[in-house]
Amino acid sequence: MSASDDASPRRRVLVVAAILAREGRVLLTRRAEGKHLAGLWEFPGGKVEEWETPETALAREIREELDLEVDSLAPFVFVHHDYPETRILMLVYRGRPVGEPGAATLPWRWVPVSELDPASMPAADLPIVDALRSEAAA
């Protein structure tokens, strides 16, 4: 069956995520209760609104969720993933955190790339983990 034969159209969503690294560790946030995939750890980011550029959306999401500023955003990898109800295109950027998270609205933690646990992360984030590990092995 091809994608065009799919009788159940899915909502398409453009999302952004950030790889914020410090001292060999990356920043993860925990998905809020009541949301899709609640409780899983993910790279910070969120949905791009119609009026935003991906970079603007990513800076806004990180500011809102972590009270953290980022700069030096540069594309890292793009991920396409189909969930049963949604098709997402995730634009993943590297960025430099300016300071530490402040009055965060989500739990967060710094995790060494070697200790990222795919079982505790959304499926869409797994290609990001693979890319980070491949890069570290090179």
Burial class (CB in 10 A: 0-12, 13-18, 19+), 124: buried
pLDDT band of residue 4 (cuts 50, 70, 90) is very low
pLDDT of residue 3: 47
- Tens of pLDDT, residue by residue over 41-97, are 999 999 999 999 999 999 999 999 999 999 899 999 999 999 888 999 999 999 999
Whole-number average pLDDT of the chain: 89
Sole residue written with tokens 């693979």: 130
Sole residue written with tokens 């890069």: 135
Quick check: is 15 in a domain?
A: no
Counting the structural domains of the chain, the total is 1
Pairing of strands 108-112, 25-30: antiparallel
Quick check: is 6 in a domain?
A: no
pTM, to two decimals: 0.88
At 70, which CATH number?
3.90.79.10
Residues 90 and 43: beta-carbon distance below 8 Å: no
Range of the domain at 74: 21-137
